[in-house]
Amino acid sequence: MKRTTSPAGRKAIRGFEGDRLTAYPDPATGGDPWTIGVGHTGPEVKRGMTITEAQSAAYLIADLAKFEAGVNNLCPVTTQAQFDALVSLSFNIGLGNLGKSTLVKKHNAGDYEGAARQFVVWNRAAGRVMAGLTRRREAEARMYRGLAA
């Protein structure tokens, strides 16, 4: 069954990412990748770029579709809570990193508790532990376990 992100999952991603209509630099690098809307990055996002709320919503719909398809392919068996947490994680670390992760290997082997413990491994940006990423990963692990994010 192909899943999509639940309303609770979308709310969590919005809460983690925020929704900014002016491009801002990556918090870890102070530059690339530039981000806009709800965590949208891409070659079109540049310093000084601004978008409307409608453009932000459109970016989010397209981005979610990409990450949902990726998680459905990487982890074909999930609960809704696991799926939402995995989409949130991949939204932040990318599908390539998720696909190579021990977290996905443990999940697909049915070691769900081991997979949940792997979320906190992804709390670094540019080699540094980031407090905001640590909080996000703890919340995603709770979500994955079916607890409130």
Residues 72-98: tens digit of each pLDDT: 999 999 999 999 999 999 999 999 999
Residue 2, in any domain of the structure: no
Residue 149, in any domain of the structure: no
Which residues, 6+ apart, have CB-to-CB distance to 14 below 8 Å? 38, 60
Peptide bond just before 33 cis, omega within 30 deg:
yes
Give the model's pLDDT for residue 149: 54
pTM of the model: 0.94
Asked if 5 contacts 64 with a C-beta cutoff of 8 angstroms, the reply is yes
| CATH code: domain of residue 72 | 1.10.530.40
Residue 111, in any domain of the structure: yes
Name the token pair of 134: 């640590």
Measure the CA angle with vertex 100, ends 95 and 103; round to 5°: 90
Residue 1, in any domain of the structure: no
Residue 86, in any domain of the structure: yes
Tell me the catalytic residues. 17
Q: Round to whole Å and give the CA distance between 82 and 92.
A: 16
Amino acid at 89: L
Residue 47, in any domain of the structure: yes
Q: Give me the domain span that covers residue 76.
A: 7-144
- Inform me whether the pLDDT recorded for 9 exceeds 70: yes
The burial class, CB within 10 Å (0-12 / 13-18 / 19+), for 52 is: exposed
Instruction: Please give the tally of structural domains in the chain.
Output: 1
Give the model's pLDDT for residue 108: 98
The burial class, CB within 10 Å (0-12 / 13-18 / 19+), for 59 is: buried
Residue 113, in any domain of the structure: yes
Region 53-65 average pLDDT: 97
Residue 25, in any domain of the structure: yes
